Chain A
Amino acid sequence: MNCPDFNTLMMFLDGELGEERMKEVSEHVGQCSRCRNLIDSQRNLETSWRDSFVTPEDDKFRSMEWIIYRKMNRRSRWKFFVPAAAGIVAVLLGVKLIMDNQPFKGRVTELLRDGRTDYVSYTLRFDEERGELPVSGIDEFGSEETPVDASFNVPTEESVQAEDISAPTTGEAVGYSTANAEPVDRQFAVLADTVEEYLRGSGSAAAETYPHTVAGGELSAGGSGGIGAAASSGYINEEECEEAEIPEEIMFSGAFECSGPEGQTDDIGDITLSLDSDTAELAVIETVPSSTGIFNDTENNMAVSQSCDYYSRLHETSDHDMNTTRADIYVELVFDEGGQPDSSTALLLDTLFAGWSDYIPIEYRDTVIIVPMSGVSELFLEGCIVPAETIE
């Protein structure tokens, strides 16, 4: 018998030849040192490679088990909270309406006084020519070059809590003021305890609040988009993983366009609206069409990507504690030149809260409104803020 070819010898090694053929090759290998050496070397090579694998410690698997279960449990539970979605939308609109229709300084004072409020709002005013979020200007807050009011002073939480918040001494634009307002180009709100970081940070806050591309994935919001994430500081220790507040999926809604593997694009339609359920278990609308290929294409499932990204960051803390970031959730509303809602978020709000846009004053219909989710939902659930309907 001539020497079998390499493939046959490998199939012999794998035990995948038929019974008769196995017998033939076996007899040959017993007599042929060359073939025997080849098989032995391949077996050694593969066995060594297989045995070299170092399986991670079991506690890592237990952490992963917990994370996956937690995620899946939430996913299924969200379905029962759809009605609450309307509530949270009302909450968001309520915040907007409060900001629009009430002297916001007084409102802040009142809310902070009860000790539960962690939310303040600022209106940043820019000259009309620039009309952009002050990504670089934030660093220069208070300088003459800033496009915001030159005397704008970012209040600390303590200063906001002060009784005399309506009469600030350090600047004329602390809090919300319409007395001498130029056209408002941008309005956004931040958590009180992160305001310093948010406004005085390296500019990443604004940069991350406004983008239409979500970190950790390759999805880009189509059109006006409806998502945003602002970083706030967190201190996560892997050992405290179970107690740590792991952020839920980033909020996003409306139509998105996905860049596919070969550069093709695929409109994957409505995706997921999820809320910070550590703050309040609220709502999700999972309307991912089955045809989007969510199973086959990792890039289509931003929720998973986001959590994976976060887990990676958790994992990085295994050797030493480090500051990491977690995402706060913001909703962005955009209006077109005609003053009509023009964002995927608006479509969602239409579904959940018919007629919502009627509550938005006309002067704000050329603006982008960005409202944070975190904290706000809790406030409204606790009844701390007057519902939108009661505001004249």
Chain B
Amino acid sequence: MLLGVLLSMAGEDENPDIQLLRKAKNGDRDAFGELFRKYEKRVFRVARRMCGSDDEAWDITQDAFIRAMQAMDRYDTQYRFFTWIYRITTNLAINYAKKKMRRHEVHFEEAYSAEGQQVIEDNVADRAAGEQLLGAVSKAVNKLTPALKAVFVLRIDQQLSYSEIAESLDIALGTVMSRLNRARTKIREELGSMLGEWE
């Protein structure tokens, strides 16, 4: 028991993120800034990929960091910090998505359509077809269930390994594989003949 505690403490000491987290929770402005800047863009990006708007993504980002500090005592140091913050972020995003579904506020397709439109306008004409296809991909991703989308986002957008995804989402490795396969299959089905552009 004592050994476990000591090992645990040693493990924490070796984890600079946890040191920063602890200092941040105690009001250390610099520590919080360092920790936040280290993960802010990744957290926001996952949140934005998972939800329907920038506003929601900011909300989720804010919640994720606050909850990380609030729940620091429950952090299991056997996990890497970045997988933990990913877990918090994806859980928050899934909760947001569930709330929206209950309220029937599904508007992210329009948001992504707008984003795709913006992308098209910002690019040269010979890329227009490809960007339209990209818009279709975004729509297809957003039609995924939150569970499938979480795996897809962590793998494709964040380029996490299967084991890192399993750790982040607290699911089995086999579940990661099956969900990723289903996500990819569904996306390809949604794209249908449009996929020929890339074939």
Q: Which residues of A contact B (CB under 8 A)?
A: 6-7, 10-11, 14, 16, 37-38, 40-42, 44-46, 48-50, 52-56, 60-61, 64-65, 67-69, 71-73, 76-77, 218, 261, 294-299, 301, 304, 307-308, 311-312, 315-316
- Nearest 6 CB-CB pairs, A to B? A41-B198, A308-B59, A44-B198, A7-B181, A295-B71, A298-B95
> Do the beta carbons of A298 and B70 come within 8 Å of each other?
no
Jot down 19 A-B pairs with beta carbons below 8 A, ordered by A: A40-B198, A41-B195, A48-B130, A52-B134, A54-B115, A65-B32, A68-B36, A69-B36, A72-B66, A72-B69, A73-B27, A76-B26, A218-B99, A298-B92, A301-B63, A304-B67, A311-B62, A315-B55, A316-B55
Distance of A76 Cα from B24 Cα, bound (Å): 11
Q: Which residues of A sit under 8 angstroms from B54, Cβ to Cβ? A: 56, 315
Distance of A61 Cα from B61 Cα, bound (Å): 10
Distance of A49 Cα from B187 Cα, bound (Å): 12
Q: Which residues of A sit under 8 angstroms from B157, Cβ to Cβ? A: 49-50, 53
Within 8 A of A (CB), among B33-79: 33, 36-37, 40-41, 44-45, 48-49, 54-55, 58-59, 61-63, 65-67, 69-71, 74
Q: Which residues of A sit under 8 angstroms from B195, Cβ to Cβ? A: 41, 45
Q: Which residues of B sit under 8 angstroms from A37, Cβ to Cβ? A: 199
B80 at the interface (CB under 8 A from A): no
CB distance from B129 to the nearest CB of A (A): 12
> Do the beta carbons of B63 and A304 come within 8 Å of each other?
yes
Return the chain A residue nearest B116 by Cβ: A52
> Do the beta carbons of B63 and A308 come within 8 Å of each other?
yes
> Do the beta carbons of A72 and B48 come within 8 Å of each other?
no
Given A53-B48, A308-B59, 18 more A-B residue pairs with CB atoms under 8 Å apart are A41-B195, A41-B199, A45-B137, A48-B133, A49-B141, A54-B115, A64-B58, A65-B33, A68-B36, A69-B33, A72-B66, A77-B27, A218-B99, A294-B67, A295-B70, A304-B63, A311-B58, A315-B54
Distance of A42 Cα from B180 Cα, bound (Å): 13
Q: Which residues of B sit under 8 angstroms from A60, Cβ to Cβ? A: 58
Distance of A37 Cα from B198 Cα, bound (Å): 8
Distance of A77 Cα from B155 Cα, bound (Å): 39
B81 at the interface (CB under 8 A from A): no
Q: Which residues of B sit under 8 angstroms from A53, Cβ to Cβ? A: 45, 48-49, 157
Given A41-B199, A65-B36: A76 touches B25 (CB 8 Å cut-off): yes
> Do the beta carbons of B29 and A69 come within 8 Å of each other?
yes
CB distance from B21 to the nearest CB of A (A): 11
Given A41-B198, A64-B62: A297 touches B69 (CB 8 Å cut-off): no
CB distance from B61 to the nearest CB of A (A): 6
Q: Which residues of B sit under 8 angstroms from A297, Cβ to Cβ? A: 95
> Do the beta carbons of A72 and B59 come within 8 Å of each other?
no
Binary contact readout B166-183 vs A (1 if CB under 8 angstroms, 0 otherwise): 000000000001001100
> Do the beta carbons of A61 and B41 come within 8 Å of each other?
yes
Q: Which residues of B sit under 8 angstroms from A298, Cβ to Cβ? A: 63, 92, 95-96, 99
Given A49-B134, A50-B157, A315-B58: A296 touches B199 (CB 8 Å cut-off): no
Q: Which of B45, B55, B156, B161 contacts A312 (CB 8 A)?
A: B55
Given A6-B185, A40-B198: A68 touches B66 (CB 8 Å cut-off): yes
> Do the beta carbons of A48 and B91 come within 8 Å of each other?
no
Q: Which residues of B sit under 8 angstroms from A73, Cβ to Cβ? A: 27
B98 at the interface (CB under 8 A from A): yes
Distance of A304 Cα from B59 Cα, bound (Å): 9
> Do the beta carbons of A261 and B95 come within 8 Å of each other?
yes
CB distance from B9 to the nearest CB of A (A): 22
B147 at the interface (CB under 8 A from A): no
Binary contact readout B116-130 vs A (1 if CB under 8 angstroms, 0 otherwise): 000100000000001
Among A37, A65, A316, the most chain B Cβ lie within 10 Å of the Cβ of A65
Q: Which residues of B sit under 8 angstroms from A69, Cβ to Cβ? A: 24, 29, 32-33, 36
Q: Which of B24, B74, B184 contacts A295 (CB 8 A)?
A: B74
B113 at the interface (CB under 8 A from A): no
B162 at the interface (CB under 8 A from A): yes
Binary contact readout B1-43 vs A (1 if CB under 8 angstroms, 0 otherwise): 0000000000000000000000011110100110011001100
Q: Which residues of A sit under 8 angstroms from B95, Cβ to Cβ? A: 261, 296-299
Given A298-B96, A312-B59: A49 touches B29 (CB 8 Å cut-off): no
CB distance from B126 to the nearest CB of A (A): 15
Distance of A67 Cα from B63 Cα, bound (Å): 11
> Do the beta carbons of A48 and B137 come within 8 Å of each other?
yes
Return the chain B residue nearest A309 by Cβ: B59
Distance of A67 Cα from B61 Cα, bound (Å): 11
